[in-house]
Amino acid sequence: ATEVEDAPKWTPLAIKLLREAGFEPAAADGIAATGPGGRVSGDDVERWLSDHGNDASVTATPAPAPTEAGTVADDTVQIAGVGYAVPRNIRPTSEILKAFPGRTEEEMIKLTGIKERRYAGPGESATSLAATAVRHALEGSGVEVGAIDGIIMATILPDQPVPAMASALARELGCPKAFAFDLNAACSGWLYALEVGRSLIRSGSARTVVVVTAELTSRILNPNDYETAFLLGDGAGAALLTASPGGHRLHRMGMSGNALQFDAIRRLGGGASRPFPDPTGIDQKDFFLQIDGAAVFKSAITGFADQIEQTLGRHGLSPGDIAWIVPHQANERILRAVSKRVGIAYEKFVVTIAKYGNTSAASISMALGWAVEEGIFQPGDRIVFCSVGGGLTYSGGLLVW
């Protein structure tokens, strides 16, 4: 191979990223050079890898495995398997309407796009749903439970505050030695957890990480609150991240926020400042989830659109390059508005909200699992994730199938 370390054509980062991905610079002829001084930059390499990483005409050496002293390249982190799980109990919109005389089913479906959702029943827990989702993700992945190095659980409502629900899941799955911790970024939680898991693999701290989410929001719903009663449902989803040259390439998940809207989505009770309900019941509502619908609606459209556009920008892509959008399932009106804002047809949005409602942090993973189950993705499809959650939190990123 031609040595190019001293050549002015390449930045050091570009050479590093290319070789970490298992490619020799000589195999990257034709790569765009948009860096300083007309050199090939790290961003140029990432775009080239995204376009050509699975091209059989490009000769590549096996991608390096992570070690304690080393890192692996960005596109070496793969999703090896996905899975999701939902409770048995179906709660149709018509049943919830009984608490709201004067409202019609047609009206509520038009407002939210939700015809039904699932509510966990007796004997069902967030941990049990999460375990089912992970087992589905493991099926066909070629990965054994014993190979799991760590579990990251994204949730707003663990089965119990302490210890972490991820630890309960590790015990349930049969990998008690795996590191395990919970993460809360509300509806953006699963994408935040993906980025944490991806970063751990890239750093060499782990080789196989389960990124899982489970939400039983029905248990903190006020059935008489118009803003939330129709919106939320229960479910779980999981992805198995590995360091290997095969699978579906996971790129960086962008993360940002707007804490000025901290109070737009909240549950005041249950934390250190208000651990127990007032015996008189005066503050009972503080233990239910509360949403400022008008504020969230405006912020969500802008937030979703920004995350999609930022993801496209990071990879030098245009809307026409995207095969699918897998968004947080906020509500149908928001998603249709986002589609118009970014110029990507609504038919390219993977939408499961009619069946499952808004399942908070679980919604993207569930939609991804459903899409894989339905076989709608094709090899090479570029898939964009995007989310807006309480906090406010934002996230978005690229998966190449």
The residue among 191, 185, 325, 317 whose CA lies nearest residue 253 is 191
> In whole angstroms, how far apart are CA 157 and each of 170, 204, 213, 270, 284?
18, 30, 10, 10, 17
187 belongs to the catalytic site: yes
Determine how many CB atoms are found less than 10 A away from the CB of residue 323: 15
175 is catalytic: no
Token pair listed for 117? 């959702």
Helix (H) or strand (E) holding 152: strand 150-154
CB atoms within 10 A of CB 177: 10
Give the three-state DSSP class for 90.
Answer: strand
Q: Which of 184, 248, 358, 386 is catalytic?
A: 358
Sequence-ordered list of residues with C-beta below 8 angstroms from that of 168, at least 6 positions apart, any chain:
127, 159
Which residues, in sequence order, are CB contacts of 29 under 8 Å at separation 6+? Answer: none
Which of 175, 184, 328, 331 does the annotation list as catalytic? 328
How many CB atoms lie under 10 A from the CB of residue 5? 8
Catalytic residue among 187, 248, 251, 315: 187
Coil, strand, or helix at residue 192?
Answer: helix
- Cβ neighbors of 217 (< 8 A, separation 6 or more) are 156, 157, 232, 233, 234, 289, 359, 360
Distances in Å between the Cα of 173 and the Cα atoms of 110, 133, 167, 210, 364 are 41, 11, 10, 11, 22
Active site residue 184: no
Are 9 and 41 contacting, i.e. CB atoms less than 8 angstroms apart?
no
Q: Which helix (H) or strand (E) holds 327?
A: strand 324-327
Residues forming the active site: 187, 328, 358
